[in-house]
């Protein structure tokens, strides 16, 4: 969702996000430049906000993760935040479909000195996930899903094969401005998100919940799940 400042509520949400980021999120030059480079390259302005990036960093740190998987790289903004939470001995694998996004992200990783810590796999994420399973990729400790919503239900079974007890899963954009309550929606993103949310609740290996979020990107939400077995 792109920023919409046309309503008083949206202006307020945006200003609060800016206030919270200014109050609590330390500026990181390489990450701020990554955002600027993505904008200069014309990438879609759908990155998470700084306070959300910091939130992901803290979640990675609090979970003690040493291996992180990200599905949906864009310009590498969220990737770099999570890499900060890993520490020097951690590894992060990020999956991106579009070469234009991957090129920007790789340059951002290089400038941040994180190119040895981050592996970017280019191509359809479903193919990359299946290849990783076939290659015997070790389980991940933390997984962030922020890609094409219609495929969220297809990603989840593959994600589960790359997880172990204790793996933390965070999925973005699971409310979609409240559209997820519309059972009659014919929009592929809404249908995919509704199905994904249902699958989280039904999977016996997961303890899950979701929270609505309002901010600079509007009204949406995050799902959280813990792999229990």
Is 3 among the domain residues? no
pLDDT digit string, tens, across residues 136-146: 999 999 999 99
Is 103 among the domain residues? yes
Q: How far is CA 226 from CA 95, 131, 166, in A?
A: 21, 24, 6
Q: Is the pLDDT of residue 2 over 70?
A: no
Q: What is the pLDDT of residue 1?
A: 40
Residues 108 and 78: beta-carbon distance below 8 Å:
no
- The lowest-confidence range among 6-10, 71-75, 126-130, 165-169 is 6-10
Q: What's the whole-number mean pLDDT along residues 171-188?
A: 97
Q: Is the pLDDT of residue 82 over 60?
A: yes
Q: What is the domain range of residue 159?
A: 8-227
What domain count does the chain have?
1
Q: What's the whole-number mean pLDDT along residues 109-121?
A: 96
pLDDT digit string, tens, across residues 143-179: 999 999 999 999 999 999 999 999 999 999 999 999 9
Q: What is the pLDDT of residue 87?
A: 81
Q: Is the pLDDT of residue 85 over 70?
A: yes
Is 110 among the domain residues? yes
Which CATH number goes with the domain that contains 106?
Answer: 3.40.50.150
pLDDT digit string, tens, across residues 10-54: 999 999 999 999 999 999 999 999 999 999 999 998 999 999 999
Q: Is the pLDDT of residue 190 over 60?
A: yes
Q: What is the pLDDT of residue 88?
A: 83
């Amino acid at each position: 969702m792109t920023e919409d400042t046309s309503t008083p509520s949206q202006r307020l949400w945006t200003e609060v996000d800016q206030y919270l980021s200014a109050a609590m999120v330390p500026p990181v030059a390489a990450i701020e430049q990554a955002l600027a480079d993505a904008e200069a390259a014309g990438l879609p302005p759908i990155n998470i906000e700084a306070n959300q990036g910091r939130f992901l960093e803290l979640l990675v740190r609090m979970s003690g993760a040493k291996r992180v998987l990200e599905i949906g790289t864009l310009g590498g903004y969220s990737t770099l935040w999570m890499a900060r939470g890993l520490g020097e001995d951690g590894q992060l694998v990020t999956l991106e479909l579009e070469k234009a996004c991957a090129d920007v992200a790789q340059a951002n990783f290089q400038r941040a000195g994180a190119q040895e810590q981050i592996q970017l796999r280019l191509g359809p994420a479903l193919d990359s996930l299946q290849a990783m399973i076939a290659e015997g990729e070790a389980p991940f400790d933390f997984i962030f899903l922020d890609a094409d919503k219609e495929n969220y239900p297809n990603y989840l079974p593959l994600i589960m094969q790359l997880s172990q007890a204790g793996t933390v899963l965070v999925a973005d954009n699971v409310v979609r401005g409240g559209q997820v309550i519309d059972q009659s929606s014919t929009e592929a993103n809404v249908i995919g998100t509704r199905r994904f949310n249902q699958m989280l609740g039904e999977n016996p290996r997961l303890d899950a919940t979701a929270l609505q979020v309002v901010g600079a990107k509007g009204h949406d939400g995050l799902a959280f799940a813990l792999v229990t077995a």
